[in-house]
Amino acid sequence: MAPLEAPPPLIPASLARRLPLDLGPVGTLAGSRFLAEAGPRICSSLDRDETLHAVVQLAVQHLADWCLVDLLERDGELRRVVVAHADPAHRELAERIRRYRIDPASPHLELTAIRTGEAVLVPSVTPEYLAATAQSPEHFGLLADTGVHSMIAVPLLGRSGPIGAMLLGSCRPRRRYDEEHVRLAAELARRAALAVDNARRYGEVCDAVRARDEALAVVAHDLRSPLATIVMAADVLLQEGTAPALRTDIVRGIRRAARHANRLVAEYLDGARLAEGHVVLDLQATSVDALLAESVALVQRQADGAGLAVTLDLEAGLPPVRVDLDRIVEVFTNLLGNALKFTPAGGRVVVRARAGGDAVVCTVEDTGIGIPADALPHVFERFWQSSGQRGRGAGLGLAICKGIVDAHGGRIWIESEPGAGTRVHFTLPVAIAPRPNG
Ligand code: ADP
């Protein structure tokens, strides 16, 4: 269906009347009763689809033979979510209508209501109306099959703008829609929009709580291993007769496990801040040499322990980059830490940097175990780890790197081949744009 950036033409005023949504109070007792009944039924669920089913059912019981609701999705497209007919025997036709794809270039009743923010009333579905709005012979046939002779479209207005539209159709000669029907339809749509908006917000809150619970579960799981080490070590220390040399080893083990736990918590908090976009950068012009000297020094002990050397391959005359030094050192140490962790002794770990227009392209390359192709699309996701790696990290390292590089306006990507090694590339903005002939 039509993305709203390329709006279809509106239905001409000669074929459909546009009316404001606020036409004053409902004028009949039956109408007031209907709305009094509608309120609680529409609000009885916090599930979007259940809410919309209640709305269309109410409409076809009191106001229409056909009722459908289209919702604007996040990508700006309009999707038909529910269709109902007063007579259940029309279920098959209702399903055809629900699945019909609307031509974005044709005038469209619901989009006219959404774009104008007004109700659109077609008192009579005349042959001229059909000729002007039917998008294809198939659409013409579908409209004719419904038997509607009068229609109303009303926008569903959420708290922060339109969220969709509701369409009512009457097939009964004695029920030709007029202003009073529009009043009722607008009131029904107002209640429906509020309920859908609430359901949407409730869903978002549930998603956020679920993501947080998952994150906490991962962190809690990962913390159990260093904490268990600490408890066991303390138990041994409490036993009498532990040799002094062993006691020192055990205390060192406790310190190592506590540091590991500390790092997991720090990474988790950092990952959460980056995911929410709360990164404040202290940008300075910095030489790539300085960044690398600091980063390599920080992983030197790990490299020595792994029996690996980190070598540098820097293009001569690289321009300074405009970065937050501590943050980019964090990117390098995370990437180098992974390279050292996943490369067996005797392998190679190389850091490369090349000029690339208004950026410097950095690469951390190893000849380690590599990453399977089906895992590659996931490695920058928070908490993702390949099977077998659980407990060795928090699965946040690459997500943090991406968050930091993104915050600098750069790009990060990965290439890997199982058994051959991994290359992670990222760009850093140069501090001074190079001169065209410089
Ligand atoms: P962690 O902090 O747990 O290492 P990362 O986000 O840094 O998490 O990495 C996620 C996963 O990606 C790792 O568990 C590992 O499976 C894979 N990975 C990352 N870097 C490499 C690498 N250089 N070689 C092989 N696998 C890697």
Q: 243: left (phi > 0), else alpha (psi -120 to 50), else beta?
A: beta
Longest dimension (CA), the chain: 101
What pLDDT, on a 0 to 100 scale, did the predictor assign at position 431? 92
Distance CA 19, CA 63 (A): 18
pLDDT digit string (tens) for 32-75?
Answer: 888 888 888 888 888 889 999 999 999 999 999 999 999 988 76
Distance CA 206, CA 200 (A): 10
What pLDDT, on a 0 to 100 scale, did the predictor assign at position 273? 74
Q: 299: left (phi > 0), else alpha (psi -120 to 50), else beta?
A: alpha
pTM of the model: 0.56
Task: Give pLDDT < 50 ranges for the chain.
Answer: 1-5, 390-391, 438
How far away, in angstroms, is 350 Cα from ligand 1 center?
17
pLDDT digit string (tens) for 347-388?
Answer: 999 999 999 889 999 999 999 999 999 888 888 887 766 655
Per-residue tokens: 45: 């669920």
Question: Among 166, 151, 161, which Cα is nearest to 70's?
Answer: 166
How far away, in angstroms, is 401 Cα from ligand 1 center?
11
Distance CA 384, CA 378 (A): 7
How far away, in angstroms, is 29 Cα from ligand 1 center?
67
Distance CA 293, CA 312 (A): 10
Distance CA 120, CA 165 (A): 11
Backbone dihedral angles phi then psi of residue 83, each to the nearest 5 degrees: -135, 135
The residue whose CB lies within 8 Å of the most ligand 1 atoms, and thus the one to mutate among 351, 366, 385, 400, is: 385
The residue whose CB lies within 8 Å of the most ligand 1 atoms, and thus the one to mutate among 379, 415, 423, 426, is: 379
What pLDDT, on a 0 to 100 scale, did the predictor assign at position 386? 64
Distance CA 161, CA 120 (A): 18
Encoded amino acid at 235, one letter: D
